[in-house]
Structure 1
Amino acid sequence: MAQTFLVLIPIPGTGHLFSAVELANLLVGRDHSLSITVLLMKLPSDNPKGESPSAALDASAVQVLHPRVSFVYLPDDGTFRDMAANNFYIRLVESYCPHVSRAVAKLASECNSSSLQRRLGGFVLDMFCASMVDVANSFGVPSYIFFTSSSAMLGLMLHLQELRDDHSKDVAGYRNSGEELAFPGFACPLPGKVLPALVLRPETVGLFLDNFRRFRETRGIIVNTFLELEPQPLKFLQSEPGLPKVYPVGPIVNVWGSSGDSTRTQVCHEVAKWLDRQPEASVVFLCFGSMGRFDEDQVREIAIALEKCKYRFLWSLRRSQPKDKIGLSRDYGVDLREVLPDGFLERTAGIGRVIGWAPQSEILGHPSTGGFVSHCGWNSILEGIWFGVPMAAWPIYAEQQLNALQLVKEMGLATEVRIDYRRDFKMESGVTVSSKEIGQAIQALMEESGEQRRKMGKLRDISRNVQKERGSSHVALGEFLKDVSANMKKA
């Protein structure tokens, strides 16, 4: 039987890579005539040895990789290395377009010369890879976007792009707007200051919204969400004329845990042993993502709050990259005491642990975990929902302020630490959240979140059923695969 292969291209960011791998497994598991080749770009690094995306993959979903999912590592010719550049990821992707074109031509040639009868069916592009629509067009195949954030974020960005292009709106001017703004897809008005920094900065908004404009040229948009979670934003997207078809196929989450790295395996083992000794739903887990960072003053305020609250806690504390660099945060190691109050580790030894990298899905899935203080990255939100853990929202960068507002105000699924907090690259709030404010949020999360726990429990059950047969995401995924198949029959 003739087979179709899709080219899947994520950006070299941890959350995007993991989600892409999980999507690939989901697709080939559903369609036995489909195979997927994931093209991997390399993140520039000051380290001469570079930072290979394979390291992240080996530590994540490699356990569940399907034999019809393969990887091609694209060469890094050093043409773009400025990690402090505006719209870094979009410009990195543009520099890789020639490499993608050559890699796909080679794959297509190998298929034509073999007896496998595999044909290229299309490109599935990361949300920052819209410039590669031109590459897909050069091969005469459709392109699809894989959007790794919420459908609310997708609708908002497409609306802002339309305001700019069709109504000459200065979108970056929302940065200084004190008013709350009504946007389609949201029940509540949005303060302008919660929009992503790339939209609010005049030097980045142009290229960023240009990237979203190209979404309109694609065949469809796959979104990591599900209908029951975001009914209003999805209704807007599905009714808006001129937009490609939207496929809500989530939640796509890495619930299998981490493997392939002996150090991280040991961390998982030690954390699990500690959690096993704690009462059910008694531990507050603080984790702020692969690039989350705080300055030393803020770290100390968090520590003071945890000590005064006296709740059991598990805190993933990491050393950040310099603020003008894009990259993963690192563990403090033996330097941990340098940023914590004197004697903090000794005084809290009976109730808490401070670790570096954290096995987030394992912790959220443990019965002892009762609350999650999160940066509100979309993947983390979906994991919190998957495990039914109430959250406290403390966004830091990217679209997280928007996610936090949606989680707190629109969905009623989280308490608030500080929604407008921001430590974005090149755009920071300059605010230090006090230990009192943090402590109050933790107390509300652990003691006063009965309604949130009820909602989370209900959504947890829904999230685990939507990809089962006849579930909303199962249906949407089937519609996407039918579209790929129909395009192949036309070719």
Structure 2
Amino acid sequence: MSSFHSQLIVIMVPFPAQGHLNQLLHLSRLISSYNIPVHYVGTSLHNRQARTRVQGWDPKSISGIYFHEFNVPSFASPPPDPGSPLTHLQPCFDTAQHLRGPFATLLKNLSSVAKRVVVIHDSLMSSVVQDVGSVKNAEAYVFHSVSAFTVFLHLWEEMERPFPISVDMLKDVPSLEGCFSAEFKNLISNEYKCIKFDSGRIFNTCRFIEAPFLDLLGRQEISKGMKQWALGPFNPVVTLSQNKCRSRHGCLEWLDKQAPDSVIYVSFGSTTSLTENQILELAVGLDKSNQKFIWVLREADKGDIFAENDQISQIFSMLPKGYEEKIKGKGMIVRDWAPQLEILEHSSTAGFMSHCGWNSCMESITMRVPILAWPMHSDQPRNAVLLTKFLKIGLAVKNWASRKDLVSAETIASAIQKLMESEEGSEIRKRAAKMGDDVRKSVADKGVSCLELDSFVAHISR
């Protein structure tokens, strides 16, 4: 760690969705470890959400992170609709634009007492921080919460393919059709227009995972001279779960009783809702697989996760009658927020059936766990291709081309058995373990990600 940077202040501005809040809070911890004060900006609701759900470390133990909670207008928080992902969160996303004024005031105040203020903002909060351009001793860096693979393809396509790339790279890439609602596509477009004032790009990835795509992003045609840093993984590679003084979730106690590498973890993130028919097929498929499993069965987040939710009981009424009694000893259903990082870290966890949100991908890779890919929306279909076709550390449960089709119990059971019992599955598990080991080494002293973080801190401290 370097000495105290008394004249440098960092401001983090996350997008108000779980996978975004979480990543920038983890990055706050990493930068704070250099004795640099970090100011984390949001509403009281979303700062509380970030701190309540953080895993692997205790934000109360980090004295160098300061939370700023600004008021925004109230917003509607409708229930999620399985047929229209993210639309129920759009009012929350739109309201976040009101943070521009409070952010500008904070920036002005901090810039008056510091030699330099560095703003690290989510790419979807670019308009909120655009006033950084008018502050002489401030500079901004855009954080992309998705994979370098996904960002490269987006920019390359938006720039009308400024140079040729390998046909093999493109043959399995799904189109973006059906990935976003019209409202969310409009939000992305408007926010990306404001990225032009940034001094560099930051990714939660590392060269062991995405070197070819980081290299493509670094080409002049794409970068336009903008610097980039791959600082991941942001999440801890060793969590607090082994601290015996700390209370543990009941699912971890259940995992303690299982054999090593014997359990499939099933979770589709904070923005996914399944139809009743799909819940039934998944329930039967997990049972038919004859493998141990932990299934996080919960509704997608509302804009306000702390508001009363009467949909929990409705979800459980969709399970087959007597299901939980039938799977006793074989499976466990988690009804609330699960300690995902600690589940993936556990020696009994062998695979992760996932929606392939990038936060979950990075956590799974870090913990050496292969993925059963079942993308739902947004960047997830392309992340799934990265995992299954390029990195070869996962298997597809559902391809994006058949996104409107019900995934049958037989398909689900077959995918699990293939990962757990076949020679191909064994090779995938070995590759996932090897990549996880490499990524863990990258954050150790003198590792590639450690040096990258040192380089970034040196750059902003210049």
Name the TM tier (shorter chain): 0.7 to 0.9
**TM-score computed with the length of structure 1 as normaliser:** 0.80
Kindly indicate whether residue 102 of structure 2 is the aligned counterpart of residue 128 of structure 1: no
Q: How does 1:205-220 map to 2 (within 5 A)?
A: 205-220=185-200
Alignment equivalent of 2:458, drawn from 482, 485, 491: 482
Deviations 1:423-444 (A, max 9, x none): xxxxxx4321111111111111
Moved more, 221-230 or 154-163: 154-163
Q: Which residue of 2 aligns with 1:394?
A: 374
Task: State whether residues 223 and 248 of structure 1, in contact with CA within 8 Å, keep that contact through their aligned partners in structure 2.
Answer: yes
2:393 to 413, 416, 436: 413
**Deviation per CA, 1:381-427, whole angstroms, max 9, x where unpaired?**
111111111210011122111100111111111011003178xxxxx
Distance, in Å, in 1 between the alignment partners of 2:90 and 2:155 is 17
2:461 counterpart SS class? helix
Matched, 1:404 2:384: yes
Separation (CA, whole Å) in 1 of partners of 2:186 and 2:165: 20
Contact 1:255 1:361 in 2 (8 A): no
- Does the 8 A contact of 1:285 with 1:315 survive in 2? yes
Distance 1:376 1:88 in 2: 24
Name the CA shift for 1:272/1:391 in 2 (closer, same or farther; >3 Å). same
Partner residue in 2 for 1:94: 97
Query: Which sections of structure 2, spanning at least 5 residues, go unmatched?
Result: 79-86
Deviation at 1:298, TM superposition (A): 0.2
Give 1:425's aligned residue. none
Secondary structure class of the residue paired with 1:152 = helix
Would you say how many aligned residue pairs link Structure 1 and Structure 2?
A: 436
Matches within 5 A, 1:315-334: 315-320=295-300
8 Å CA contact retained: 1:122, 1:136: no
CA distance in 2, matches of 1:184, 1:223: 23
Amino acid aligned to 1:18: N
Q: Sort the Cα spacing of 1:430 and 1:457 in 2 relative to 1 into closer, same or farther, 3 A.
A: closer
Aligned residues of 1:133 and 1:218 also touching (Cα < 8 A): no
Given that residues 49 and 305 in structure 2 are in contact (C-alpha distance below 8 angstroms), is that contact kept between their aligned partners in structure 1? no
In the aligned structure 1, how far is the partner of 2:196 from the partner of 2:172? 24
**1:81 offset after TM fit, Å?**
5.3
CA-to-aligned-CA distance 1:153-185 (integer Å, 9 cap, x gap): 111222233239x99xxxxxxxxxxxxxx8679
Specify which of 419, 430, 434 is matched with residue 408 of structure 2: 434
Give the superposition deviation at 1:226.
0.2
Residue of 311, 319, 326 corresponding to 1:347 = 326
Distance (whole Å) between structure 1 residues aligned to residue 392 and residue 153 of structure 2? 20
Residue identity in the other structure for 1:306: L
Q: Select the residue among 141, 151, 154 that pairs with 2:151.
A: 154
- Contact kept, 8 Å, 1:144 with 1:222, in 2: the verdict is yes
Amino acid at match of 1:484: I
Are the structure 2 counterparts of residues 381 and 26 from structure 1 closer, same or farther at C-alpha, using a change threshold of 3 Å?
A: same
Distance 1:435 1:464, change over 3 A: same
- The counterpart of 1:461, out of the listed 437, 443, 446, is 437
CA distance in 1, matches of 2:280, 2:233: 35
Alignment partner of 1:63 is 2:58: yes
- The CA RMSD measured in Å over matched residues stands at 3.0
Taking the aligned partners of 1:102 and 1:308, their CA distance within structure 2 comes to 58
CA distance in 2: counterparts of 1:320 and 1:207, whole angstroms: 21
Output the CA distance in 2 between the equivalents of 1:235 and 1:205.
27
Q: What corresponds to 2:179 in structure 1?
A: 197
Which residue matches 1:281? 261
Q: CA deviation at 1:250?
A: 0.4
TM-score by length of 2: 0.85
- Other-structure match for 2:349: 369
Do the aligned partners of 1:290 and 1:328 also contact (CA within 8 Å) in 2? no
> Partner residue of 2:83?
none
1:237 aligns with 2:237: no
1:103 alignment partner AA: L
- Does 120-129 or 92-101 show the bigger shift? 92-101
> Per the alignment, in what secondary structure is the counterpart of residue 400 of structure 2?
coil
Q: Which one-letter code corresponds to 1:347 in the other structure?
A: K
Correspondence 1:36 to 2:38: yes
1:247 aligns with 2:226: no
* Counterpart AA for 1:430: K
Q: 1:196, 1:258 → 2: CA distance?
A: 39
Distance 2:311 2:294 in 1: 16
Which residue, out of 158, 163, 175, partners 2:160? 163
Which runs of 5 or more structure 1 residues have no equivalent in the other structure?
A: 43-50, 112-117, 168-181, 260-264, 423-428, 487-491
Q: Which residue of 1 aligns with 2:427?
A: 451
1:257 and 1:283 map into 2 onto residues whose CA distance is: 19
Q: Deviations over 1:34-62 (max 9, x none)?
A: 211111136xxxxxxxx443143134256
Distance 2:9 2:144 in 1: 20
Summarize deviations over 1:267-291 as a string: whole Å, max 9, x none.
x442122112111111111111112
Q: Which residue is 1:262 aligned to?
A: none
Residue identity opposite 2:31 in structure 1: L
Contact 1:155/1:233 (CA < 8 Å) preserved in 2?
yes
Deviations 1:127-175 (A, max 9, x none): 21111342111222211012221111111222233239x99xxxxxxxx
152-161 vs 207-216, which deviates more? 207-216
The correspondence for 1:106, drawn from 104, 109, 113, is 109
2: distance between equivalents of 1:186 and 1:81? 44
Instruction: Supply the distance in 2 between the matched residues of 1:471 and 1:186 (Cα, whole angstroms).
Output: 30
Which letter maps to 1:253? Answer: N
Corresponding residue SS for 2:20: helix
Secondary structure, in 3 states, of the residue corresponding to 2:11? strand
Which structure has the higher relative contact order (CA within 8 Å, separation 6+)? 2
What amino acid is the match of 2:175? Answer: K
* Cα distance in structure 1, aligned partners of 2:300 and 2:193: 33
What SS does the aligned partner of 2:218 have? helix
Identity of aligned residues (%): 27
Secondary structure class of the residue paired with 2:62: coil
CA distance in 2 between counterparts of 1:221 and 1:89 reads 25
Q: What secondary structure sits across from 1:230 in the alignment?
A: helix
Give, as a single letter, the amino acid of the residue that structure 2 aligns with 1:214: C
Task: Note the alpha carbon deviations across 1:89-120, whole angstroms, 9 max, x for none.
Answer: 764443221121122223345x3xxxxxx334
* C-alpha contact 1:185 1:236 (8 A) present in aligned 2: no
Q: Is the 8 A contact 2:204 2:230 kept in 1?
A: yes
Secondary structure class of the residue paired with 2:160: helix
Q: Tell me, yes or no, if the aligned pair for 1:396 and 1:421 is still in contact at 8 Å.
A: no
Q: 1: CA distance between counterparts of 2:38 and 2:58?
A: 17
User: What SS does structure 2 have at the residue aligned with 1:444?
Assistant: helix
Residues in 1 aligned to 2:122 and 2:232: alpha-carbon distance in whole angstroms: 15
